[in-house]
Amino acid sequence: MDIPPEIAIRSTIVPGSVFYFKSEALTSPFPHYHVVLNLDPFHDEVIILVCASSKKDKVKAICKDFPADTLVEINKTQYEAFTKDSIFNCNEVFERKIEDLVKRFSTGELLMKPKMDIELVNKLRVAVLSSNQVTPEIQQKLKET
């Protein structure tokens, strides 16, 4: 029996959930890994994501004027679903409504990947919180209360 897409997404989304999809916000025509940073995504309507890139040198060049601690490198041994070592530019976050993720999943445009270890997710959160490019509103949503 197939699980309806809304239930599949909503019932399994946690901090560190990873979705693989093509984002219109990126110039690349290829899908990317997006990691959920929300503290409680099950109850949030807007999901905060950061995106991985395997083009590490390109990302470092683009972000050369940003603090180094806002870039997080994760290699393929640290996260089993990666086929290449990758980097996250935590100066750029993506907000998606949960309905958008459900719709993409229902049309086959989004794949759910294994959950990322919470220690890696916390590194990503810390990098987003140290960025001066991310709005205080988004940063506040990622802080423990």
Give a three-class secondary structure readout of the chain.
Answer: CCCCHHHHHHCCCCCCCEEEECCCCCCCCCCEEEEECCCCCCCCCEEEEEEEECCHHHHHHHCCCCCHHHEEEECCCCCCCCCCCEEEECCCCEEEEHHHHHHHHHCCCEEEECCCCHHHHHHHHHHHHCCCCCCHHHHHHCCCC
CATH number assigned to the domain with residue range 5-141, chosen from the 4 options 3.40.50.1580, 2.30.30.110, 3.40.720.10, 3.40.640.10:
2.30.30.110
For 30-39, write each residue's pLDDT tens digit.
999 999 999 9
For each of the chain's 145 residues, which pLDDT tens digit applies?
A: 578 888 888 888 999 999 999 988 887 889 999 999 999 999 998 999 999 999 999 999 999 999 999 999 999 999 999 999 999 999 999 999 999 999 999 999 999 999 999 999 999 999 999 999 999 999 999 987 5
